[in-house]
Structure 1
Amino acid sequence: MLITALVTWCAVAIPSLLALSQAPAWTWLPHLMLLPLILLVTNESQQSYGYTFRYWLLAVMAVLIQCAGFMLPSSVYLIYSVMLIAILTFYLSPMQSYCYIFFASLAYPLTQTLYWAQPLPWVETALFASFHLFSFVVSHRMREERAAKEQAQLANSQLLATQSLLGQSVSRQERLHLARELHDDVGHQLTSLIVNLDVARRTAQEPLKSQLQQSYTLARETLEKIRTLVSDKRTEQPLDLETVLTELIHHVPRIEISLTFQPHPVTQSLSHAHCILRACQESITNTLKHSNATKLHIEFGPSAAADFRMKITDNGTGAKHSEPGNGLLGLQERVRELKGDFAWQSSPEGFVVQVSFKETPVNE
C-alpha cells in the first residue's frame, strides 16, 4: 500500500506543483503536507502509535485534500480522495466509508461552481464517484481477506495452545497409568518372588543358601526401588501455563502481546488451566475484532483476596456497548463454575479482564 500511495502522490503532486509554480508558496502546502501523512498512515508497523493517532492523521488528510481543491480549478486532486478511501476502508465501517464518498463527491461540484464559477461538472462528478466506489470495493475485499487470514492464524495459535495443554494432561495420565501398572503387576510379582525366595533360603543348604540369600536381598531392593518409582509417578506433575500461553500468543497477528509471571504460573487443576486458556483466547479475539488495540498485556500473580489472579489489559478504544457479549458471558460462567471471580472494565484507555481463584496453587 505504501508504494501505491507514493506513486499516487507523485502523479498528483508533481503536475499540481508545476501548475502552481507562479503562485504563492502557501498554495503548495496541501500537497507537501500530504506526503508525510501518507508515510505515517500507510506505515505497517503499529508499535510507535495506535489507531487513535491514525484517525487524526486521516482526518487531517481529508481536510488537506479538500483544501487542494481551492488551489487549482482542476479535478486532478480527487485522485488523492480515491487513494484516501482505499485507506479509510481499513479503519471505518462500510457506512462511514459511504458517507465519505458522498460528501467528497458533493464537495467537488460545489467547489467548482461556487468558488471557481465553473459550469456544473456532472460527468466528472459521476466519474470520480464511481472511482471512489471501485476503490472502496477493492479495499473492502482486501480487508475481508486480511481478516480471514488473521482468523486462521488465531485459530492455529489456539489449536497449538490447546494441543500443548492436552499434551501435558496426557503426560500426567500416562505417569499415573504407569504407576498403577508397576504397583499392580510388577510389584505383586516381585512380592511373590520374595516370599518364595525367603522360604527357599530358609530350607536350603550351603552353598545354595548363600546364593538364595543374595537373590532375596536383590529382590527386596528392587521392590523398594519400584515402590519409590511408583510414589514418584503418582505425584501429579503440575500444568505449566507459561508453555501453553506462549504457544497461544506466538502467532497472533497485528498486536504485540506480553506476559508477566509472578511467580511462574503452574496449576494442578486441568479445569482451571482450561478456563485460563479460554479467558486468554476470548480476550485476544475481542481485542482483534473490536478494540483497535496495538498492545495486550497478560499478568499473572497472587493478590490479597485470591491465591491466583490473572489480569488482561489492552490499549484499545474500549467496548462500545455497556452489556457484555456472549463470549464474556460464557467466560464468566466458566469462572463461576470453578468458584472464581470474574470482572471486566471498559474505558477510553482500553479494556480490562480480571480472573481470580482461591486455593489454586500457582507456585512451582
Structure 2
Amino acid sequence: MPQEDKQVTLFIAGILAWFAVLMITHVKASFPFANGVYFTGFALFLTGFLAINFITKAKQAKRLSSVFILLQLMGFGFVFYTAQSSEGLILLVIFAGQLPFFLSQKQSIAVLLLINGICLFIFLLMWDRGFSSSSVAITLNLAFQCFALAVANIAVRESESRVALEQANAELMSTRSLLEQTSRQAERLKLSRDLHDICGHQLTGLLLNLEYLSKTLPTQHQQGVNETKQIAKDLLNDIRAVVKQNKASAQLDLNAAIDSLFAHLPHVNAEFTPRLAAPLLSVHHAEVLLRICQEAVSNALRYGSEKCLSISLFKGDNILLLEVSNPFKMRAHERVGSGLQNMHERAAELGGEVTIEQENSQWKVSVRLPYKEQHYD
C-alpha cells in the first residue's frame, strides 16, 4: 500500500474511533459544568488531531506539533475524567498512532506507560474501582495502543526509507549527469590528442618531404610541389584549430547536474540562484562542488525544519563560491557529523574551505575554492 494511502487510512481510523467514543460514552461526573468539560474535551482532541494531519507546518515544526499533541492529551483528560469509564481510553489509541511521527519508539512507549499508569491510579484511588477490573481495562486498551503505535511506526519507517531512497536516487542521477558530461569531454579530448599526435605527426613529415622535394626537383615541377605543400600546411592548421576548439569546449555544466539532483526530489522546494554564467573547465572542481552540495542537501532534508533550500553558485576572480542554506530548529552540536567532515576534506583537497553559519534560524554551508579559468584535467 502506498505511503499516502496508509496515512489516509490512519486518519480515517482516527476519525471513526473518535466518533465511536463520542457515541458510547456519557457524562458521569457530577461537578458543575461537567457536560461542558466533556464536550470541550472532544473538541480539543479533534482540533489537535485535525491540525496535525492537515497543517503542514505542524508536521515539520516540533514545537507546533507538541502543542497539538498536548491539546489532544488535554482533550482526552477532560473526556476520561468526566466519562469515568474505560471507553474513554480508546482516544489513547488514536493518540498512540500519532506519536511515532514525532517521538522515538522508546519515548512513545514511555509516554503511553505514564499516561496509562495515571489512568490506573485514578481508577483505583479516585473512583474506587477494583484492581482486577481496572488492570484488565488498562491492559486491554494498552494492547490496542501498542498495536496502533506499531502500525504507525512501520508507516514512519517506510516513509523515512522512501525519502532516503528518493534522495539516493537523486544524488545518483546528478552524479550520472556529471559523469556523462565528463565521459563525453574525455572522449573528445582523447580524439583531439590522437588527431594532433598521429595526423599532425604525419602531416609534419609530409611537409618536410615536400620541402626537400621543392629544393631538389627541376624548376618545372616546383609549382606542383609548392601547391601540395600549401595544402598540407592548411590541413595541419585546420587540425590544430579543431584540437584547440575541442579543448576550449571541454567544459562541465554544473548547473545541469544540480538541476538533475532536484528534479528527482519533487517534495523539496529549492531556489537555485545565482547560477554559474558558464560551464567549468575542471572536472575535479565540478565534482567536489556537486558532492558538497549533495551532502548539504542531505543534511537539510534530515535535520531542517522545512523542506526548502536556497542554493547559490558563483564564479568570481580566481574563486568559486557555493552556498546552501535552509531553515533549522536544532543546536549546532546536533548537526556536526561525518558528513560535515567529508565536506571539509573535499574542499581541502583543492585548497578550499567550508564554513558553517547559523543566523536567524538559518543553517548555511559556504564553500570557497580557488579556481583559475584553465584546464586542470
Structure 1: tracts of 5 or more residues without a match: none
1:341 aligned to 353, 361, 376, which one?
A: 353
What is the TM-score when the length of structure 2 is the normalising length? Answer: 0.80
Residue deviations 1:190-220 (CA, integer Å, cap 9, x gap) = 34445666748995898x9887776655444
1:92 CA drift (Å): 0.9
Structure with the higher fraction of residues in helix conformation = 2
- 2:323 alignment counterpart: 311
How far apart, in 2, do the equivalents of 1:145 and 1:18 lie?
Answer: 35
- Judge conservation of contact 1:318–1:351 (CA < 8 Å) in 2: no
> Where do 1:208-357 residues align within 5 Å?
217-235=230-248, 237-252=250-265, 255-264=268-277, 266-301=279-314, 307-319=319-331, 321=333, 324-346=336-358, 349-357=361-369
Which residue type is aligned with residue 168 of structure 1?
Answer: Q
How far apart, in 2, do the equivalents of 1:48 and 1:134 lie?
Answer: 24
- After superposition, the Cα gap between the structure-2 partners of 1:116 and 1:24, relative to the gap in structure 1 and judged at 3 Å, is same
How far apart, in 1, do the equivalents of 2:270 and 2:229 lie?
Answer: 61
Across the aligned residues of Structure 1 and Structure 2, the Cα RMSD in angstroms comes to 3.5
Structure 2: tracts of 5 or more residues without a match: 1-6, 29-33
Question: Structure 1 residue 12 and structure 2 residue 18: aligned?
Answer: yes
- After superposition, the Cα gap between the structure-2 partners of 1:110 and 1:322, relative to the gap in structure 1 and judged at 3 Å, is closer
Aligned residues: 359
Query: Residue 190 of structure 1 aligns to a residue in which SS?
Result: helix
1:125 aligned to 131, 138, 145, which one?
A: 138
Residue deviations 1:129-148 (CA, integer Å, cap 9, x gap) = 22222222232233223322
Question: Structure 1 residue 175 and structure 2 residue 188: aligned?
Answer: yes
How far apart, in 1, do the equivalents of 2:86 and 2:266 lie?
Answer: 39
How far apart, in 2, do the equivalents of 1:68 and 1:325 lie?
Answer: 45
Residue deviations 1:238-269 (CA, integer Å, cap 9, x gap) = 22111111222222375433322244363322
How far apart, in 1, do the equivalents of 2:89 and 2:165 lie?
Answer: 37
- After superposition, the Cα gap between the structure-2 partners of 1:21 and 1:335, relative to the gap in structure 1 and judged at 3 Å, is same
How far apart, in 1, do the equivalents of 2:334 and 2:119 lie?
Answer: 40
How far apart, in 2, do the equivalents of 1:36 and 1:153 lie?
Answer: 33
- 1:190 alignment counterpart: 203
- 2:61 alignment counterpart: 51
Which residue type is aligned with residue 334 of structure 1?
Answer: R
1:166 CA drift (Å): 1.9
1:357 CA drift (Å): 2.1
Query: Residue 357 of structure 2 aligns to a residue in which SS?
Result: strand
Which residue type is aligned with residue 61 of structure 2?
Answer: Y
- Judge conservation of contact 2:297–2:324 (CA < 8 Å) in 1: no
Identity across aligned pairs (percent)? Answer: 23
How far apart, in 2, do the equivalents of 1:332 and 1:354 lie?
Answer: 11
Q: Which has the larger displacement, 256-265 or 232-241?
A: 256-265
- After superposition, the Cα gap between the structure-2 partners of 1:361 and 1:118, relative to the gap in structure 1 and judged at 3 Å, is farther
- 2:113 alignment counterpart: 102
1:3 CA drift (Å): 3.7
Q: Which has the larger displacement, 69-78 or 173-182?
A: 69-78
- After superposition, the Cα gap between the structure-2 partners of 1:89 and 1:265, relative to the gap in structure 1 and judged at 3 Å, is farther
1:96 CA drift (Å): 1.6
- After superposition, the Cα gap between the structure-2 partners of 1:146 and 1:267, relative to the gap in structure 1 and judged at 3 Å, is same
> Where do 1:150-169 residues align within 5 Å?
150-169=163-182
- After superposition, the Cα gap between the structure-2 partners of 1:112 and 1:360, relative to the gap in structure 1 and judged at 3 Å, is farther
Residue deviations 1:118-169 (CA, integer Å, cap 9, x gap) = 4441101111222222222232233223322322222222222222222222
- Judge conservation of contact 1:8–1:79 (CA < 8 Å) in 2: no
How far apart, in 2, do the equivalents of 1:231 and 1:114 lie?
Answer: 91
- Judge conservation of contact 2:18–2:91 (CA < 8 Å) in 1: yes
Query: Residue 167 of structure 2 aligns to a residue in which SS?
Result: helix
What is the TM-score when the length of structure 1 is the normalising length? Answer: 0.83
How far apart, in 2, do the equivalents of 1:69 and 1:110 lie?
Answer: 13
